[in-house]
Every structure is written in C-alpha cells, then in structure tokens.
Structure 1
Amino acid sequence: MTLTEQLYWGGAGLIVLWLVAFGIALTATRNGAVTPEPATQEFGTDPEPPAVVALLGNHWRGVEHAAAATLLDLAARGLVELRQPGDDPARGTVHVTEAGRAAPVLMPYEQRVLDRVTARAANGGAPIGAIAFRDEKRAAAWNAELRREVVTDARLRGLSRYRFAPLLVSALMFLAFGPGALFAVAAIMGGHGVRAALCVGAAPFVALIFLLGRSLGERATPKGLERAGHWAGLRTWLTAHEDFAQLPPASVTVWDRYLAYGTALGVTTLTGRLLGFDSGDRRRVWSSYGGTWRPVRIRYPRLRPGFGVSTRRLLHLAAAAAVVAVGFCAFAVLRQPDWVVAVDEGSLRRPGVVLSAVWVGVALLALVVADLFRLWTLFVAFLATMPGNFASGSHGWFRDTAVHEGPVPAELAVITVFGAVAVYFLALACLERREPDTITGEVLRMESRKGRNAARFLALDEGRTDLTIAWALPAASQGIATGAQVRLRVSRGTRTVRSAELVRAAMPEGDRAKAAEPGKS
C-alpha cells in the first residue's frame, strides 16, 4: 500500500473515530425522562414564567408559543388588555394599560413582547393579528433573540444547560479537522493541485461540523426534569377541561395565568394560533394606513403574462410569439406531399422527419428571438424529432398531415394562441409608452421571486379598498422597507414600479425603544 493510500485510509479511519465519539456524546447527553406528577392546578411557590415553561414543555428543543404565552401573562398581570368586541376571536384587540406604560423592570423577553405590543398599539389599540411581522427575516431575527433570552433565564434558574460542554465542542471541532488534513496531503501527493486538495480536505470537515452544529442546544438539569414533571401535571389538569383548548385570548380575564401556562404547554391551540409573533398571513395583513385598523387582502399575480417586464422584453416576447405563429402558418401553406416520401428502407427520410424537424426548428428560432435559448434545449429538440424519424407505413398521422392542404387543427390552434400572445405583448409594450401613474400608500409586504434578477412583489395599501394587487418592484431597487410610506410611479399594464420616492421611513416594530432604525419591520 502506497503512502497516499495510507493517508486516505487514515482519514477514513479518523472519520469513523469521530462518528463513534460523536455518537457516544449524543448518548451521554440525552435528556432524562420526565416523570409527570399527578394532575394539579397549583403553580408552586416560585413558578417559572410561561416562556421558560414553554422550553421545559417542549423538551428543551425550542420555545414555541413562548411569545404568545408571555403576552397572555402580561395581560393576566394587568400590563396589557385583550378585548373581544364580537363573537369572532380573530377580531380581538390588544391594548397597553397605564400599568404597562409604567411597567417596572421586566425580564428581557417580557420587555421584548411588551415593546412589540406597544409599537403596534401605540394609537390606543391594535387587532391581535397586527402583532405579526410583515417581513420573514425580521420575524426570524426577533424570535431568535427571544429564544436566546428565554434560554438564558432558564440557565440562571438552574433548569437548563448546554448539551455539550465547551471543552467537548472544541475537541470535536479539532478532531473534525484531522480527516480533511490527511485527505488534502494525500491529494497533493497524488499529483492534484492545491485547489483540488483544499476541496477534498474541506468536504469532510464541513460535513462533520454540520452534524455537530445540528446537535448543539440545551438539555435538562435534574432540577429542570423535576419542574418539567410538575408542569406536566398542570398540563394534565388543563387538558381535562374539554373547552380549554378553544378558549380565545380575551378569556384571560377569567382564566388568569392558567391561559398563559396552557398556551406555553401547547394546550390552548386557538389562542396559540391567533397570537402569532411570526411573519403572519402573507395574503391577509392588518393595516392602519388611513387612520383605522382593517384587514387588507393581497393578491399575487404569479401567472400574469408580462408582469414586471420591461418594454424591450415585451417586444422580444411579442417577436418570439410572432415567429411561432408566422412560421407554422408559412410551413402549413408551403408544405408539399413529396417532402415526406420515404426513398428506401435505409433512408433517414421518413414520413414525419421533415414535419417534426420544421416544427421543432420554428420553436428553437422563437427561443433564440426571446433570448431564452439554452444548450440543453438542443437535446430536448432532438428528442422531439424522434417520433418523426420512426414514423412509417402508408398511413398514419404524419402522412395524413403532409397531404393536408393548409394548417391541420393542431397547427391552427398553435397559430391562434401564439398570434394572440404576440398581439397581447405588443399591446402591453404600447401601453408602457404612456406616462406612468402616481400612487401613494404604505408598504404592507415585500417578497422575493425565483431568479436573481426577478422583480420582487410589493404589496401597497393605498387606503381606499380592502384588496390590493402586488406590484413588481425591480430587484435593483433599494431603500424601501415594509411599513414605509412611499410614492410610486407605476405602469398598470405590467404592474411595474418605475420609480419610488420615500415619503416616511418605516417605524420600528417592536425592538427596544432605542433601536429606532428606519426601514426595518
């Protein structure tokens, strides 16, 4: 065995050794079993906050519903007020009380939730659906900070700890570097370049570090397992009430802190769903633009031809569609029966080869005109011509098409459809020459579309209706954020934003009061 082979086998052995050590570490740091206590309605002498209970109730894997449980706990303590004016729980509202505005020192995650509610209910109150964020990245960052604060509190209370000790993490990271180093040296000794050696060496290191990173988290302490057993007993007691799962948020006035703990433990499904601190419903957003809160429905025109397309692009598409329509029409008129007569058994001139080749050729020419041609389309075109190569016999669809005068029904359908598409795109290009309209409103949501250069969706509330259709904002546009008031110059034919002017920057949505960074939501 050569030295290069020995290095490769040594690297493979180190990978196996690392996986064995990692498996032993996973086994040794598993959470112990939680032994539920008998059903109880007691919180205990010094109960943990509902957000911490959400961590314990979720087996230290996450803090789902921690924000909603904290909001309900703040309502039970009189810092906020939840109202339900009608029979629909989704129409409930949240208000900050005087006690909430002059609240004493709270836990960081409690203050974070209160700040979020205060920002949204600054003008006397807000619908509970308005608590949700309008931006997915902003919601993810906010919830990540909330989880970090909850975990920190759980550690200070002696209920949680790192799953892997820092020394163990450092040792596993160091060991993960070994296989890659051996592979890189072996690659260089085998005559490969430095770049190839770095790629070969980095692959196992990245894979092992990925496994390690996926396993980092929290695990229980003995005290944490004991307290989790107590809260499991409370969950049993709450679950025994059949109507408890469907209690609305406003019922906190009756159930007090029980509703908060029930939400933290996943018992109150309705309340946990309504009090969402995530990115919310992308098709239904609460807006206060115009002075009053109201739900605005958003429609995203994903299948609308010409959406967000420039005038030059519209002309390209119109020309491509016209090439298909004119090409099929000309071929149908000029077609002769003797074009498809087979000469002999070994000839490539089959009954359908000319027909299929011309049809595919017209399609390829249209792709070139539309600037959509790719190399892989040649392979698809070759496959598309295959049925014509194998067509034979004195009768058949290809031969009947060849002797037909004028377009066959299939060709007529293609000519009609692509002719209409060409006229449609040409009409849109003419409409784009008009002076753009000017509209003003508040940005409700912004979403990216597939493709690096694809226009983004921009949903704007103009304050007149409860339905808005998203506009196409060019990907290169900067300085616009959800919550900002803007003045747009738009082309209604393609629903494209031609220019944007910032009227008022976006207000901060729930960070600390000092974090007033305009443009974030």
Structure 2
Amino acid sequence: MTFEAEMYWGGAALIGVWLAAFGLALAATRNGMVETGPATQEFGPDPESPAVVTLLANRWRSVDRAAAATLLDLAARGLIEVRQPDDDPGRSTVHVTGKDAGPLMPYERRVLDRVVERAGDAGAPIGAIAFRAEERAKSWNTGLRQEIVAEARLRGLSRARFAPLLASALYATAFAPGVLLAVAVVSGGHGIRGAVLVGAAPAVALMWLLARALGERATPRGLERAGHWAGVTAWLHAHEEFAHLPPAAVTVWDRYLGYGTALGVTSRAGRLLGFDAGDKRRVWSAYGGTWRPVRIRYPRLRPGFGATTPRLLQLACAAGVVAAGLCLFALLRQPDWAVTGGLDSTHSLRRPGLVLSAGWVAVALLGVAVAGRFSRWMLFIAFLAMMPGNFADSHEWLDRAMGEPLVAETVAVVCFGALAVYYLALAVLERRAPQTVTGEVLRMEPRRREKAPRFLALDTGEGDRTVAWALPPGLSAVAPGSTVRLEVSPATRSVRSAAVVTG
C-alpha cells in the first residue's frame, strides 16, 4: 500500500473513531426519563417561572412559547393588562398598567420592555408585539434563551450537555482526519489549495454535527420538577375549554394561563402572542395615529421591478431580439435544411425536429446573452432543450413549419414583442421627475440574488394596503419603524433616494 493510500485510509479511520466517540458521548449525556407525577393544580412552594417551565416541557431543547407565557404571567401579576374588545381574540390589545414591577428576572424585564416599546401609553394590538426584522427577532430570542437557561442552571434544573473538557476535546480532534487527508493530497502531487479543501471538508462536517448537539440536558432535580409539571399538564388537559382560552382570559385563570401556554396546553393564546419576525404580509402600524393592520404585497414577478433606465433598454433589446429572431427563423427556413429520407437519415444531425429545436434554442441563447444573463449553466440547459429534437425524425414537423410560423411561435413572437414595447414604455416613464412619499418603514425584505433590489414596505397612512418598493443595492438599508422620505419612480416602483426623518 502506498503512502498516499495509507494516509487516506488513516483519515477515514479517524473519522470513524471520532463518530464512535461522538455517539458514545451522546448516549452518555442523554436525558433520563421523566416520570409523570399525579395530576395536580399546585405549582409547588417555590415554583419555577413559566419561562423556565417551557425549557423543561420542551425536554431542554428549546424555549418556544416562553415569551408568550412570560407576558401572560406578567399580566396575571398586574404589570400588563390584556383587553379583548369583542368576540375576536385577534383584536385584543396590551396595555402597560404602570404598576411598580419590583425585581424582575432578566427575561421578564426583556418581555416587559418589548411591550412598553410597542404599547406606549395608549396600548397596542397584540399582533404589534411581533418584530418587523428577522435579524432583530433572532437576536432578541437568542438573548431570551440565554437568560432562561442561566436561571435554570442557577436553580439546578439544567446543565451543559457536554462538559467543557469533553467539548474541547471533540472540537480539537475533529481536525485530525483532515490533516491526514491533506498530507495525502500534497503527497500525491496536488496543490496546496486542493489539500486545504480536502482537509477542511471533514472538519467542517464534524464540527457542524458537534454544534448541533451542544445544548442543555437535565439534572436529577430537573427531571423531578419536569415530572411535577407533567402532572400539572394532565390537570389542565382535564379542562377541555382551557386549550381555547384567549389571552384576555388571564383575568379569570390568573397564572394558570401563563403556565398552560408554557406547557403547550393553551395553544390559542400562544399562537396569538408572537415574539418572532411576524407575518411578512400583514404588519400592524400606528403611523397616522391609529393602530391598524396593513397588508403588504410584494411584486416578485413584475417585469422591470426596480430596474434602471439602461437596464430597461437592455431588457427591451433582449425581448426584441427574441421576437425578431423567432419571426425570421420561421419565415426563412427551407425544406433542404433537413434530411428527411435516405440511408443516413436516422443518424443525421439535420433531422426536422432537431433543426427546429436548434433554431429555437439559438434564438433563446441570443436573447439571454443580450439580457446579460448568460452563464455556463445556460449551455447545459440549451443542450437539454435540444434533446427532444433527436426523437422527432418525421418530416411532418418540417412540412407544417415551412413558410409560416407555428402557433406556438406566433404566440411567442407576440408575447416577446409586447414585452419589448412594455420595457420601452417603462424606460420612457422612468425619465419623468420622481415623486416624494413619506411614511413609516414596515419591513425590509432581502432578495435571493444579492444584486437584486430589496423590498421596502412603506406605510404612508393613507390606507390598509401597500405595495413594496424596490430599494437598489447601492442605497443603505433603512431600519423598520423609521419614518423616511423617499424619492420614487412609480413606473418601476424603484427608490431613487431615501432620507430618514425620524429613526
């Protein structure tokens, strides 16, 4: 066996050893069984907060519903008031009572501050608590989890799944297989770049597995308390109406509603109180003086959305090239372009179907090139698009296509011609003076392509519906909640300039 082969097999063996050690560590640190206690309505002499109970109820994996449960618990303690004006619980509002909060846990203070930020002195709909930016929602909830875990550890209910020494050893040894593989690559005469890529691949994969496993696990005390709360869950499940209680029912059920949400029993209240990124298409706004839900439409398939004048002219040329190319190809093709008989007709590259598909593909590639979207993948797609032509060797195809366009070609010519005229009209309208609009930024949504304009949803206070604008990549992003003055072009819904009025 050569030295390179020994290194490759050594690296593979180390990967297997690491995975075996990792599996043993997972088995040794798994949570024990939670023994459900008797059904009870008692919380205990020193009960955990609903947020900590959420961690226990979710098997130490997550703190989902913790923020909603904490809000309801704060309402039960008189710091927040939840009002339901009619039969629709979705129209409920939250208000800060102004009562002295006294000492609060960090995560309780976090939830209360968020309610104060959104509700102010006049109150706010419960839907307005949700965040308008995913980054802020993720950061806020990450901090919330860290604060809840800190208290759970302080109470002796939770601990890190892997001890620091074990985690460090697994992290360090994850690089060992890559070192042997990199040595094998270099020894085989390959470059340093290849060695780095081959050596880093197993380390990245193993560290990803380790990062997914890091978290919390139960302590004996935690398992005991989880069993007690499982008994409380059983008692709450015995009340069938409890699962459908709205948030305003906290005035009747007191702290039970918060604990029911933490335990996943009160599903309705938990769904209505969201502290995540919220609904991208329905955002609560108070711009103009009154809280109201604003529905947002994102014109993802609108041609020319956010395009500049040069780009519109380029797209018009591309559509015109496709329309003209299809028309010329349909009118100029001749029967002698294809071999429809003879001994070599089966193997000829000039079959009728192949001639037609090659012409269509060539016209499409030309249009793509003019549009500036040509790439190596286009050649592969073009190759696949020509494949069906190999199976159409009947001369009837060519007979029907001689002298006049096919029906599909006529439709394509009309559509691309109309698209060219549409882009030209947008380019003319784009030359007009921009309009000025002022409002509050509801959301900022990115696009899949980095160079594509981002969506900017603006509430001007004139209605309960809005269409997102296109913010070019060259302009700085604007924080949701800011009041901005935009210079816009209505034809392409593009933003030419943005100035923050109030942050």
The 3 A distance-change label for structure 1 pair 122 and 361 is same
Does 2:359 align with 1:361? no
Give the distance between the partners of 2:340 and 2:41, measured in 1 at CA.
90
Pairwise CA distance, 1:387? 4.7
Per-residue CA deviations over 1:406-438 (Å, capped at 9, x if unaligned) read 333222211211111111111111110111111
Give the distance between the partners of 2:26 and 2:129, measured in 1 at CA.
38
The match for 2:422 is 424
Pairwise CA distance, 1:315? 0.9
Give the distance between the partners of 2:181 and 2:202, measured in 1 at CA.
9
Pairwise CA distance, 1:343? 7.1
The 3 A distance-change label for structure 1 pair 353 and 267 is closer
Q: Which stretch of the first structure deviates more once superposed, 9-18 or 108-117? A: 9-18
Q: TM-score, normalised by structure 2?
A: 0.95
The match for 2:36 is 36
Give the distance between the partners of 2:472 and 2:461, measured in 1 at CA.
23
The match for 2:276 is 278
Per-residue CA deviations over 1:284-336 (Å, capped at 9, x if unaligned) read 10001111111101011111111111111111111111112222223333344
Structure 1: runs of 5 or more not aligned: 506-521
Give the distance between the partners of 1:52 and 1:348, measured in 2 at CA.
72
The 3 A distance-change label for structure 1 pair 384 and 224 is closer
Structure 2: runs of 5 or more not aligned: none
One-letter amino acid of the counterpart of residue 297, structure 1? R
Counterparts of 1:42-441 in structure 2, within 5 Å, are 42-99=42-99, 102-340=100-338, 342=340, 344-346=342-344, 348-388=349-389, 391-393=392-394, 395-402=395-402, 405-441=403-439
Q: Is the 8 A contact 2:352 2:397 kept in 1?
A: no
Give the distance between the partners of 2:144 and 2:306, measured in 1 at CA.
38
The match for 1:504 is 502
The 3 A distance-change label for structure 1 pair 161 and 409 is same
Per-residue CA deviations over 1:446-478 (Å, capped at 9, x if unaligned) read 101110101101100000100000111112221
The 3 A distance-change label for structure 1 pair 77 and 22 is same
The match for 1:511 is none
One-letter amino acid of the counterpart of residue 326, structure 1? A
Give the distance between the partners of 2:12 and 2:389, measured in 1 at CA.
53
The 3 A distance-change label for structure 1 pair 45 and 4 is same
One-letter amino acid of the counterpart of residue 183, structure 1? L
SS of corresponding position for 1:460: strand
- Give aligned pairs, total: 500
Q: Is the 8 A contact 2:94 2:125 kept in 1?
A: yes
SS of corresponding position for 1:380: helix
The 3 A distance-change label for structure 1 pair 340 and 501 is same
SS of corresponding position for 2:174: helix
Q: Which stretch of the first structure deviates more once superposed, 121-130 or 262-271? A: 121-130
Pairwise CA distance, 1:161? 0.7
Task: Give the root-mean-square deviation of aligned CA atoms.
Answer: 1.8
Pairwise CA distance, 1:386? 4.6
Q: Is the 8 A contact 1:388 1:398 kept in 2?
A: no
Pairwise CA distance, 1:355? 3.7
Give the distance between the partners of 2:330 and 2:434, measured in 1 at CA.
42
Q: Is the 8 A contact 1:340 1:399 kept in 2?
A: no
Give the distance between the partners of 2:392 and 2:256, measured in 1 at CA.
76
Pairwise CA distance, 1:392? 3.9
